[in-house]
Structure 1
Amino acid sequence: MTQPEVEPVSPRPSNLNLPNVLTTLRIVLVPFFGAALLVDGGDSGTWRTVAWVIFFVAMATDKIDGDIARARNLVTDFGKIADPIADKAITGMAFIGLSIVGEVWWWVTILVLLREWSVTLLRLSVLKRVVIAAADLGKLKTTVQGLALGLLVLPLLDPDLPSWLETPGEVLFYVAQVLLAVAVALTLWSGAEFYRGVWRQRHELRGSGKS
């Protein structure tokens, strides 16, 4: 009698892998980014540029580590938890730092951080019971938010800029403000969609008797 073939169980990937190293790097960069942004109360053009480089590297690794993890089947529980924390830490530091230097209103920062961290904590708390994939709206929010914050971190209004950069700097600053307004709207919209999705899935689980 032919025995049924048993498919081999793929070993679980180690937490010590490239995507997780990049995620950890993002977390480590947060205090350095904040310190560079706030040198001289945010008035140092040189250090604002350094802060922008750190922010750019952090946002780039956010994209790279996810792509590598999915392509090489290196998704781990550590990555699922650390990745959103790293994302919110670097953008949260940008919002707080820019509010300190007076380029983002504090009410905007508080509103965005409340949404971001409440969604992140809820996502982590229901991780094993409810599967919530990143929606396209959330990805668009992240992209617009990153563009807005990245532009605002740059010393666009630095009085020491060469005269030929003053007008482009002002234009980019107002473009960044428009992008920030769009990002805030998308943040609230995607947050509402997220909570609606969680409620719907939990309601379905209760109906099936699995909760």
Structure 2
Amino acid sequence: MTRAPSTPPVIASGLLGGSRQPVLPATGDLLLRPWADGDAPAFLSAYGDDEIRRWHTRRPCSEAQAREWFEAYRQDWTGEKGGHWAITRDGDVVGRLALRGLDFHDGTANVAYWVLPAVRGAGVASSGLKALTVWALDEIGFHRLELDHSTRNHASCRVAAESGYVLEGTKRSAAVHDDGRHDMHLHARIRGE
């Protein structure tokens, strides 16, 4: 009996890792660019913010560790495991975006983000997320992008909705935060929506 060949991957291997990580413009004079070693002080400082700490339990403890993370981010890109961007305005870091868990066969990935207190409520997260989403779905060819956040994180829920990510449901007791387990909202955006 002849077996049917495997379905082809949605995205060809080598598409990302074989090129430089792009710099992506976003509305509001924002630029998404790869993290640089000189960003370590701003990155470390961000994780000192109570809101960022509340929702992100994996945190660097030194500038040296932040630079180690940046190196891991570069390896994620070349290994086609993920992409990590600093959201900048006029050269200053104002936030973070990540595309993680890349699955080229199914054409899926997960998105994560945070922004600094000084720009919260100013559309920075949604502007950056929209730019990353257009690039990932329309230019690279991902079919589905997912993001999840604690059901208690109402600001993140608003960013997801404003960026066209449909709330699909609640993953019960799906993540550990400093104050215990949280239910997580699952949002997704599909190419062509």
- Normalising to structure 2: TM-score of the pair? 0.26
Higher helix proportion: 1
Q: Which has the higher contact order (CA 8 A, sep 6+)?
A: 1
